[in-house]
C-alpha cells in the first residue's frame, strides 16, 4: 500500500481549545501540524514551538501558509470571515462549535465549501464521546419517547461573548438531533441571568418532527460539573454519564415494579482525537463530514430560537 503524504494542517486560535487541537493533531499519524495562528505573538510562538510548527500573527499569513486543512478555534465572531477565506483558498476546514455567530455567516461558510469542493466540518465534539456512541447503538431500532440532558457547572472565567445556550446547550441540541435523526419543530425556553450579563442558566424544551420530546438543563451556577444523558424508549431507559462514560441500561420492567439493569461497554477514546480522525477521513475519502456544515447551521438555528424567547 502506498503511504499517503501527511496533510499539512494549521490551528487558528491558540486559546484553551486551540491548544487541545494542536496537541491532538501533533499525535496523529496522517497529519503534520505546520502552522499556529494567534494575534498574540507570545501565545502563537509558545504553542507553535511546543510542536515544531511555525507561528503567524495575522489571518492573511495563516490563509497563505500553504495548508491542506485548518482548525478554527478563534472567538465565534471570527469564524465566518476566516473560514470563507480558507475555503476559497482551497483549504479544508474544521470549525469549532458554534459554526458561526449568525445564520447568514454559517450559510456563507457552507456555500464557500460547496463552491470550492472542500470539507467543512463543525466541532461538536460530544458526537464523538464514547458514551454517546454507546447510547446511539443501544437504542438503534427502538422507539424513542424522550431525552433529557443535564449539562451544568461553575462559571468559566474564559467566557465573555456568549451565554450557556451557545456555549453549552448547543452540544446537547446536536446530541438530540443525532440520536433522534429528526429536526426540532417546537422550542420553549426559560433563561436566567443570575450572575452574568448573558444568560447563565437555561431550561430548554423541544418537540422533534418525529414527536420525541427533549429537555435540556444547563447552567453556570452549579459548583461542580455534571454531564448526564437520559433516554427513554418503548423498551428501555438508558442513563449515560458523559464525563465518566459509564452507561447503564434499565429494562424488563415487571408489573410489580421490578426491573433489570446492565452496564453497557463504552470504549475508552479521546473524543477530540476521534473528531480529528473523522475530519481526516472525510478529506481522504470525499465523504460527507460526520458533523456537516448543515448540521452546524441547524444547531445554531435552534440555539438562536431559544435565545429569541428571552
The answer to whether residues 233 and 203 belong to one domain is: yes
Residue 227 lies in a domain: yes
Domain boundary, last residue among 92, 118, 144: 118
The answer to whether residues 16 and 34 belong to one domain is: yes
Residue 25 lies in a domain: yes
Residue 290 lies in a domain: no
The answer to whether residues 103 and 173 belong to one domain is: no
The answer to whether residues 142 and 243 belong to one domain is: yes
Residue 277 lies in a domain: no
The answer to whether residues 17 and 97 belong to one domain is: yes
Domain boundary, last residue among 93, 118, 143: 118
Q: What is the pLDDT of residues 219-242, one digit of tens each?
A: 999 999 999 999 999 999 999 999
Count CB-CB contacts under 10 A for residue 256: 6
Long-range CB contacts for residues 300-304, cutoff 8 Å, separation at least 24: 300/98, 300/99, 300/100, 300/103, 300/106, 300/170, 301/103, 302/173, 302/184, 302/187, 302/206, 303/98, 303/165, 303/166, 303/169, 303/170, 303/173, 304/103
**What domain range is 131 assigned to?**
127-269+304-308
What's 155's domain CATH number? 3.30.360.10
Which DSSP state fits 169? I
Please return the burial class of 151, using the count of CB atoms within 10 Å of its CB with bins 0-12, 13-18 and 19+. buried
User: Is 74's pLDDT higher than 90?
Assistant: yes
Task: Give pLDDT, residue 309.
Answer: 80
The answer to whether residues 148 and 238 belong to one domain is: yes
Q: What is the pLDDT of residues 7-60, one digit of tens each?
A: 999 999 999 999 999 999 999 999 999 999 999 999 999 999 999 999 999 999
Cα(68)–Cα(297) distance, integer angstroms: 24
Cα(76)–Cα(159) distance, integer angstroms: 11
Residue 278 lies in a domain: no
The answer to whether residues 144 and 260 belong to one domain is: yes
Mean pLDDT score of the chain: 95
Residue 282 lies in a domain: no
User: Is 148's pLDDT higher than 70?
Assistant: yes
Q: How do strand 213-219 and strand 120-123 relate by DSSP bridges?
A: unpaired
Count CB-CB contacts under 10 A for residue 87: 27
Task: Give pLDDT, residue 3.
Answer: 60
Task: Give pLDDT, residue 186.
Answer: 97
Residue 289 lies in a domain: no
Cα(304)–Cα(299) distance, integer angstroms: 9
Share of the chain above pLDDT 90, in %: 89
CA-to-CA separations, 186 to 161, 183, 296, in angstroms, rounded: 26, 9, 18
Bond from prior residue into 98 cis (ω within 30 degrees of 0) = yes
Residue 171 lies in a domain: yes
User: Is 246's pLDDT higher than 80?
Assistant: yes
> Using 50, 70 and 90 to split pLDDT, how confident is the model at 196?
low
Cα(254)–Cα(241) distance, integer angstroms: 26
Q: Region 133-148: what's the mean pLDDT?
A: 96
What's 42's domain CATH number? 3.40.50.720
The answer to whether residues 101 and 215 belong to one domain is: no
Task: Give pLDDT, residue 1.
Answer: 39
Q: Region 105-120: what's the mean pLDDT?
A: 98
Which DSSP state fits 255? T
The answer to whether residues 61 and 87 belong to one domain is: yes
Domain boundary, last residue among 118, 148, 178: 118
Domain count, the chain: 2
Task: Give pLDDT, residue 161.
Answer: 78
Q: Region 266-290: what's the mean pLDDT?
A: 94
Task: Give pLDDT, residue 268.
Answer: 81
Cα(34)–Cα(66) distance, integer angstroms: 9
The answer to whether residues 141 and 248 belong to one domain is: yes
The answer to whether residues 114 and 131 belong to one domain is: no
The answer to whether residues 136 and 58 belong to one domain is: no
Cα(28)–Cα(45) distance, integer angstroms: 21
Amino acid at each position: 500500500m502506498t503511504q499517503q503524504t501527511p496533510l499539512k494542517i494549521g490551528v487558528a486560535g491558540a486559546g484553551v481549545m486551540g491548544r487541545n487541537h494542536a496537541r491532538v493533531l501533533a499525535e496523529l499519524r496522517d497529519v503534520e501540524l505546520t502552522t499556529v495562528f494567534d494575534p498574540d505573538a507570545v501565545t502563537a510562538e509558545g504553542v507553535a514551538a511546543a510542536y515544531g510548527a511555525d507561528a503567524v500573527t495575522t489571518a492573511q499569513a495563516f490563509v497563505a501558509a500553504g495548508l491542506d486543512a485548518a482548525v478554527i478555534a478563534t472567538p465565534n465572531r471570527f469564524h465566518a470571515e476566516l473560514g470563507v477565506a480558507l475555503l476559497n483558498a482551497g483549504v479544508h476546514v474544521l470549525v469549532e462549535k458554534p459554526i458561526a455567530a449568525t445564520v447568514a455567516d454559517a450559510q456563507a461558510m457552507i456555500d464557500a465549501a460547496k463552491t470550492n469542493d472542500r470539507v467543512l466540518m463543525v466541532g461538536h465534539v460530544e458526537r464523538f464521546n464514547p458514551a454517546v456512541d454507546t447510547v446511539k447503538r443501544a437504542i438503534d431500532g427502538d422507539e424513542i419517547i424522550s431525552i433529557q440532558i443535564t449539562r451544568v457547572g461553575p462559571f468559566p472565567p474564559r467566557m465573555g461573548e456568549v451565554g450557556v445556550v451557545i456555549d453549552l446547550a448547543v452540544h446537547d441540541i446536536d446530541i438530540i438531533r443525532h440520536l433522534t435523526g429528526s429536526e426540532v419543530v417546537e422550542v420553549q425556553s426559560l433563561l436566567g441571568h443570575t450572575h452574568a450579563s448573558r444568560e447563565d442558566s437555561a431550561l430548554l424544551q423541544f418537540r422533534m418532527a418525529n414527536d420525541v420530546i427533549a429537555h435540556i438543563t444547563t447552567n453556570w451556577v452549579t459548583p461542580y460539573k455534571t454531564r448526564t444523558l437520559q433516554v427513554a424508549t418503548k423498551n428501555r431507559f438508558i442513563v449515560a454519564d458523559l464525563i465518566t462514560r459509564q452507561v447503564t441500561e434499565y429494562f424488563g420492567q415487571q408489573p410489580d415494579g421490578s426491573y433489570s439493569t446492565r452496564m453497557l461497554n463504552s470504549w475508552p477514546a479521546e473524543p477530540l482525537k476521534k473528531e480529528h480522525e473523522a475530519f481526516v477521513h472525510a478529506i481522504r475519502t470525499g465523504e460527507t463530514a460526520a458533523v456537516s456544515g448543515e448540521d452546524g447551521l441547524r444547531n445554531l438555528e435552534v440555539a438562536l430560537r431559544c435565545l429569541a424567547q428571552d
